[in-house]
């Protein structure tokens, strides 16, 4: 059996470097999920949890013959007894459990010579941060130029997402499609008579036809040109919110889908997605704050579930170190699974409250708890089918100030990464 190098790094050194800029100037910050609800909440919802800040356990690291950093001998001298993980990265560590995904921006995909090795060593699934959202795929100019023919059938193009598609295809990765129907990042002109932002909104029948044709075109494109590449599709994103919803909690405010189609717009989207999706595309509903609105989500998706239109729930998992992962988040995972859905964590990041060694160690413990518990549920038979981390490093995160990702701005693995890797330097205590 071939030897595998140990991917273990000195936790204390990780935090000392901070998240400085690379030589040559400041990199652009990724344009992440821009819905107001997430910005207002900061992370998932209001959270409080007491957590002791333990000191980081250091290890002596040396450089292996292949250039990887390997751990020095543990105090006991028995690596297997100490439980040191032998894996090249996250994808290999969890290969028997579920895909490990990464959300990538266009900037990163244009600089794969800088980031490609880390991506390929740790992830086997890609989600586009923005390039597969409606405002990236819909083609306003082409729709206006042929308005008579395009009135019910808006034009689309796939130029913006091609770097992700090509990278995934070339490296044997899969794509998690995000997202078809969303109240945000769907241009207003798509809902108007003349495909302008100033035009009059169309009626329900016209918008349903446009929805169907859009979904058919997008899913059909990938089936025809890249069969088997897309394994999961976020059909509807963030349709339920009590604060911005109607009396039943269906999102109403600033939602042109609701205004044109009506309260059942999310159900209609699943009808069309099931009609046009290939059998290897799993259909998901995706949302934030799932720990606190699981019952609301289950209530509104019951009809789609009963009719076989939906396969799973995407729990965005924008968390903080205050969150109770084992004793709250995982209960919501179980609730969705028990209701007949598979579950994926689709946008994982865990923010810290301060820039300190103790805060980053706590972050590492939280990441360890998250990955450990999702793995345990999968091994117990719960249909947990994926974890996607929402961004590659802290400097390119939509939550940049909270330093919420696995790698710092210089691509050094943090305690967060070590926790996800089940490294023994990160205490197995949430």
Known catalytic residues are 238, 347
CA neighbor of 148 nearest in space, from 189, 109, 193: 193
CB-neighbour burial class of residue 224 (10 A; exposed 0-12, middle 13-18, buried 19+): exposed
The dihedral sign for the CA sequence 257, 262, 265, 271? negative
Report the C-alpha gap between 300 and 240 in whole angstroms.
8
CB-neighbour burial class of residue 39 (10 A; exposed 0-12, middle 13-18, buried 19+): exposed
The dihedral sign for the CA sequence 168, 286, 232, 376? positive
- How many C-beta neighbours within 10 Å does residue 35 have? 19
- Residue 201, SS3 per DSSP: strand
E-state strands within 67-225: 69-71, 100-104, 125-128, 174-182
Cα angle at 164 between 214 and 310, to 5 degrees? 45
Q: Would strands 69-71 and 61-63 be described as parallel, antiparallel, or unpaired?
A: antiparallel
Report the C-alpha gap between 271 and 266 in whole angstroms.
9
Is residue 37 a contact partner of residue 244, using CB atoms and an 8 Å limit?
yes
CA 233, chain centre distance (Å):
12
Q: Is the peptide bond before 179 cis (omega within 30 degrees of 0)?
A: yes
Report the C-alpha gap between 421 and 89 in whole angstroms.
7
């Amino acid at each position: 059996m071939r030897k595998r190098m140990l991917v273990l790094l000195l936790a204390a050194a990780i935090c000392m470097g901070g998240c400085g800029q690379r030589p040559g100037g400041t990199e652009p910050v990724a344009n992440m999920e821009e819905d107001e609800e997430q910005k207002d909440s900061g992370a998932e919802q209001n959270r409080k949890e007491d957590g002791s800040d333990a000191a980081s356990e250091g290890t002596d690291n040396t450089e292996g013959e292949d250039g990887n950093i390997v751990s020095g001998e543990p105090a006991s001298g028995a690596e297997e007894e100490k439980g040191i993980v032998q894996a090249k990265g996250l994808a290999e560590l969890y290969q028997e459990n579920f895909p490990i995904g990464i959300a990538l921006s266009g900037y990163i995909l244009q600089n794969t010579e800088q980031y490609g090795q880390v991506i390929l060593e740790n992830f086997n699934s890609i989600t586009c941060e923005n390039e597969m959202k409606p405002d990236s795929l819909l083609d306003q100019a082409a729709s206006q130029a042929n308005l008579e023919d395009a009135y019910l059938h808006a034009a689309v193009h796939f130029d913006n997402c091609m770097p992700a598609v090509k990278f995934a295809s070339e490296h044997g990765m899969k794509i998690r499609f995000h997202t078809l129907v969303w109240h945000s990042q769907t241009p207003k002109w798509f809902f108007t008579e003349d495909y302008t932002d100033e035009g009059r909104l169309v009626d329900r029948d016209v918008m349903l036809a446009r929805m169907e044709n859009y979904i058919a075109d997008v899913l059909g494109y990938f089936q025809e040109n890249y069969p088997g590449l897309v394994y999961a599709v976020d059909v509807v994103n963030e349709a339920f919110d009590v604060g911005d919803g109607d009396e039943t909690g269906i999102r109403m405010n600033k939602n042109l889908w609701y205004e044109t189609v009506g309260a059942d717009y999310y159900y209609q989207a699943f009808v069309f997605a099931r009609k046009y999706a290939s059998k290897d595309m799993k259909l998901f509903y995706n949302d934030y704050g799932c720990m606190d609105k699981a019952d609301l989500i289950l209530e509104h998706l019951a009809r789609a579930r009963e009719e076989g239109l939906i396969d799973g729930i995407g729990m965005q998992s924008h968390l903080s170190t205050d969150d109770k992962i084992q004793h709250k988040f995982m209960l919501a995972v179980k609730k969705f699974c028990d209701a007949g859905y598979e579950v994926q964590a689709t946008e994982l990041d865990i923010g810290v409250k301060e820039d300190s060694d103790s805060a980053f160690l706590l972050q590492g413990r939280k990441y360890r708890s998250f990955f450990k518990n999702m793995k345990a549920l999968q091994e117990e038979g719960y249909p947990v089918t994926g974890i996607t981390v929402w961004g590659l490093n802290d400097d390119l995160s939509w939550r940049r100030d909270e330093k919420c990702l696995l790698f710092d701005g210089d691509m050094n693995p943090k305690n967060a990464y070590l926790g996800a890797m089940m490294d023994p330097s990160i205490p197995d205590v949430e």
